Amino acid sequence: MELGSSSDSPLVRAGLAFTAWQSKIDIVSLAEIKSAIEQLSFEERAQLAACTPQNGTEKSQFRESK
């Protein structure tokens, strides 16, 4: 029984895809994210929260109420 090369495995392909994706984004710490959010105004925080998917769904009522 031949399993094929290890580079053909779904786990390896997923790992390579994740590595490629990860290399496209800047790595920031949670402290940096927290600091950036703390600098937002109340309105900017509300807008950010409205655009952030929660429980797999996007909250769109904030944008519709404008």
Please report the beta strands in the chain, taking only residues with DSSP state E, as ranges in sequence order: 53-54, 57-58
Residue 21 has what pLDDT? 65
Instruction: Give me the domain span that covers residue 34.
Output: 28-66
pLDDT digits (tens, 9 = 90+) for 16-41: 777 766 666 667 788 888 898 899 89
25 neighbors 40 (Cβ within 8 angstroms): no
- Between CA 32 and CA 15 the distance in angstroms is 26
Residue 34 included in any domain: yes
62 pLDDT exceeds 60? no
pTM of this structure: 0.36
Q: Which amino acid is at 64?
A: E
Please give the tally of structural domains in the chain: 1
Residue 57 included in any domain: yes
Residue 21 included in any domain: no
Residue 37 included in any domain: yes
Residue 65 has what pLDDT? 47
